[in-house]
Amino acid sequence: MSDTRVHRTSHRVQVAAPAGVLYGLIADTVRWPLFFPPSIHVEQLEFDGTHERLRIWATANGRVTSWTSVRSLDPELRRVDFRQQVPASSVESMGGTWIVEARGGDRSQLTLQHDFVVPGDAADQVAWVQRATDTNSRAQLDSLKDMAEKWTRLDDLVLLFEDSVRVNGPAELVYDFLYRAGDWPELAPHVRRVELTEQAPGVQMMSMDASGADGALHTTESVRICFPHAGRIVYKQTAPPALMAAHTGEWSVEPDATGVTVTAQHQVVLNEADIERVLGEGVGLAAARRRVREDLGRAGTLMLALAKQHAESAVRVL
């Protein structure tokens, strides 16, 4: 790998938060989709406490791409080295380093470095990768800064919950209902419109209009990653509703000896800036948590009930 073909970038941000907090956010890759705008989904394939292997899906210049990375974590130096083991299709190699440095008191400096090689060093492809790397790096650093500087309230801002239903029908029919979201306007009374495209097998881009509990029509945009053999569909709302800075979720279909359990999981970061505008003056974080839990829970359990009806009705017909 000739050094003249290796392109390097470096991005840096000053953060009003302890270095340990920043390092903890960087180390917790499974939650990156909740904290990093470009990240869609992360699967931790291996981890021994120091080294890990990850499968990552993220947006790059508006396109969803994926790769497998290995990372080496050093909590004492607060440094994480990474290298794409199975690179994204746009590069021949890609790697880099996260470096967190304490700057006294509760202040830190965070540096993100990349190096990459493009096949043939084609100028247009180099420019594409450079643009994606710069855009995503800045988005990651800005988001990390924002999350870290809220570290004393982060537990209150993050909301995790799930709802489940039992189904007396085949898991395949339940998964089929959840996978074919493009058909939801015909099957779900509250869904008015769905535009769904499959960019690659199992990678779905979805825009949906659905009526909420208040009767108003709400538009959401999502990227969905589908794992049919595991009975899972994970998603990230790239344009979440009000009150939410970020929303990721998962549909899981788990058969057992007596039936099927279908679960809707949600992870949310609340948007403090929207609370009073949406819920009224003087309304606080606790009320926002309840409202988001109720709204997402209601929509999720409705889809679970429809998936149950779809599978059990087909069994009765047979």
As a whole-number percent, the residues of the chain with pLDDT over 90 amount to 87
| Residue 167 in this model has a pLDDT that exceeds 90 | yes
pLDDT at residue 227, rounded to an integer: 97
pLDDT tens readout for residues 269-280: 999 999 999 999
Look-up of token digits 């057992």: 256
pTM value surpassing 0.95 = no
Q: What is the average pLDDT value for the chain, to the nearest integer?
A: 93
DSSP state of 166: E
Report the distance separating Cα 178 and Cα 253, nearest Å.
10
As a whole-number percent, the residues of the chain with pLDDT over 70 amount to 97
Which whole number is the average pLDDT over 215-234? 93
pLDDT tens readout for residues 14-54: 999 999 999 999 999 999 999 999 999 999 999 999 999 99
| Residue 84 in this model has a pLDDT that exceeds 50 | yes
> Are 182 and 194 in contact, with CB atoms under 8 Å apart?
yes
pLDDT tens readout for residues 247-302: 999 999 999 999 999 999 999 999 999 999 999 999 999 999 999 999 999 999 99
pLDDT at residue 87, rounded to an integer: 86
pLDDT at residue 89, rounded to an integer: 82
pLDDT at residue 317, rounded to an integer: 47
pLDDT at residue 134, rounded to an integer: 96
Which whole number is the average pLDDT over 200-229? 91
pLDDT at residue 152, rounded to an integer: 93
Q: How far is CA 47 from CA 20, 52, 68, 73, in A?
A: 20, 4, 14, 10
pLDDT band (50, 70, 90) for residue 316: low
Q: Which residues pair with 46 in a beta bridge?
A: 53
DSSP state of 17: S
Look-up of token digits 């299709």: 89
> Are 57 and 203 in contact, with CB atoms under 8 Å apart?
yes
Nearest to 237 by CA among 60, 76, 77, 37: 37
> Are 132 and 126 in contact, with CB atoms under 8 Å apart?
no
| Residue 3 in this model has a pLDDT that exceeds 90 | no
End-to-end CA distance of the chain: 61
Report the distance separating Cα 75 and Cα 52, nearest Å.
14
Cα 227–228–229 angle (5° rounding)?
A: 95
